[in-house]
Amino acid sequence: MAAMEKTSTPGIYRKGNRYMVVWRHRGQQHKSSHRTLAEAREAKGRRAAGDRRPAARVKFEEFARQWLDGYQGRTQRGFSETTRIEYRRALEQHAIPYFRRYRLDEVEPQDVRRFFAQLERKGLTAAGVRKVRVPLSAMYADAIEDGLVRHNPARVRIKRTTWPGEEVEAKPKALTRKELGILLGALPEQWRPFFEFLAHTGLRISEAIALTWADVEFGKRPVIHVRTQVYRGARKRLKSEHSRRTIPLSPGMARALWQAHGAAQDRSEGAPVFPSSTGSVLSSSNLRNRVLVPAAKAAGLEWVGFHAFRHTCASLLFEAGRNPKQVQAWLGHHDPGFTLATYVHLMDEGVGDAAFFDAAVTREGGDGQPATIPEALEVEVV
């Protein structure tokens, strides 16, 4: 075994072809090994600056499984058990098998990029990769707080790559007015109001089936209050505060809901607005397979899913002149920039017509009369 030799820098020793940094923490001596003298000096600088805790030797898999069992969220909103199931699935199916041989502190951003690229090659979409990154990043954020690692390697940008033979992800597709009419006509009459409601409100399917009569406000200005969602049969809070919103109802939709309320067997505040045949909360999978899929096939619109009605609502809002901020609030997106990036292809292209400038840029005031120029501002043009 090679002996440690002193170098010109106190606290740094050479051992074979490696450089060792030696320091004390809580009365115990610790060592760290480095490839170069420069790396050793950098590590010694961190120790001098106060970072004296020894590097963690915990394995990635060991920490990930412990973290999954005890994670309580990183915000005041807490953490739901349904989300824990999704996090566990993402880490156990993808991250743990890939990083099983790594120590927790050995994972670098370039390793995570290679990991995400492998997921894409396996067929995961960019959205699917993000679902893996979210728990991975949250896990490393907690590890930083625990002093086990110094950086979060999962904070890398997900760049969608198209691999040979792979189709580029399609843009969100909305139904045209004609297609919407054909599809509504192909639906069983009893289910037509529900899908009209989706197109009117742009609610996510999880939000629509969670709606209760307590969330519907009739009167001069009828609205619905989006407050909860149903996920995998369980009622839970919305994903974010941005999803919590109030949406106005058109007179026709308000009348349809009022009639449905009058005909409902259960009119209590907690009863679903759109119940199943037994009066319970709808199953989105049953509704898709038994109602939407057959109707879409009959209409020649096999590509239509629940989200197509949400895209259609966005398209109609833009067509009516609503701006991205208004559409963002209507749909419950976290940011108007995301709304614009998602639906920019639904908006008019080009620079448009210039005729409006004749009325907008004029010397006439708001009353249509020529604006008066103050004497102090009158100048002679020479």
Q: What is the pLDDT of residue 162?
A: 41
Q: Is the per-residue pLDDT at 191 higher than 60?
A: yes
Residues belonging to the chain: 382
pLDDT band for 357, please (50, 70, 90 cuts).
low
pLDDT at position 167 is 38
Q: What percent of the chain has pLDDT over 90?
A: 44
Average pLDDT of span 368-382 = 49
Instruction: Answer with the residue of higher pLDDT: 376 or 209.
Output: 209
Confidence of residue 153 (pLDDT cuts 50, 70, 90): very high
Which pLDDT band, with edges at 50, 70 and 90, does 344 fall under? confident
pLDDT the model gives residue 257? 94
Instruction: Please give the Cα distance from 236 to 238 (Å, whole number).
Output: 7
Question: Mean of the pLDDT values across residues 146-164?
Answer: 71
End-to-end CA separation in angstroms for the chain: 95
The predicted-structure confidence for 194-249, as pLDDT tens digits, reads as follows 999 999 999 999 999 999 999 999 989 999 999 999 887 788 888 778 899 999 99
Range picked from 64-78, 105-119, 140-154 for highest mean pLDDT: 105-119
Residue type, position 6, single letter: K
Does position 90 have pLDDT exceeding 90, yes or no?
Answer: yes
Which has more confidence, 168 or 220? 220
How many CB atoms are located within 10 Å of the residue 81 CB? 8
Encode 255-286: b = buried (16+ Cβ within 10 Å), e = exposed: ebbeebeeebeeeeeebbbbbeeeeebbebee
pLDDT of residue 256: 93
> Mind listing the pLDDT tens digit for each residue in 276-294?
988 899 999 999 999 999 9
Tell me: pLDDT of 381 over 80.
no
**What distance separates the 2 farthest-apart alpha carbons in the chain?**
97
Asked if 228 and 80 count as a contact pair (C-beta separation under 8 A), the reply is: no
pLDDT at 348: 58
Q: For position 377, what pLDDT does the model report?
A: 45
Identify each DSSP E strand in the chain by its residue range: 5-6, 12-15, 18-25, 28-34, 216-217, 223-226, 228-231, 234-237, 245-248
- Could you read off the pLDDT of 106-133 as tens digits, one per residue? 899 999 999 999 998 888 888 889 899 9
pLDDT at 373 over 50: no
Pairing outcome for strands 245-248 and 228-231: unpaired
- pLDDT surpasses 90 at 190: yes
Question: What confidence score (pLDDT) does residue 161 get?
Answer: 46
> CA distances (Å), 289 to each of 90, 274, 285, 305, in order?
26, 17, 6, 10
- List phi, psi (to 5°) of 354: -105, 0
Given pLDDT bands bounded at 50, 70 and 90, which one contains residue 77? low
The tens digit of pLDDT for each residue in 8-53 reads 888 888 888 888 888 776 677 777 777 888 888 887 777 666 655 5
- Residue 380 predicted with pLDDT over 60: no
Question: Which domains does the chain carry?
Answer: 5-48 (no CATH), 60-145 (1.10.150), 177-346 (1.10.443.10)
Give the pLDDT mean for 346-371: 57
Residues contacting residue 198 through CB under 8 Å, at least 6 positions apart: 205, 208, 306, 309, 310, 313
Predicted structure pTM score = 0.59
Q: How does the average pLDDT of the chain come out, rounded?
A: 83
Please write the tens of the pLDDT for every residue from 284-343.
Answer: 999 999 999 999 999 999 999 999 999 999 989 988 888 889 999 999 988 888 888 777
Q: 56 pLDDT exceeds 60?
A: no
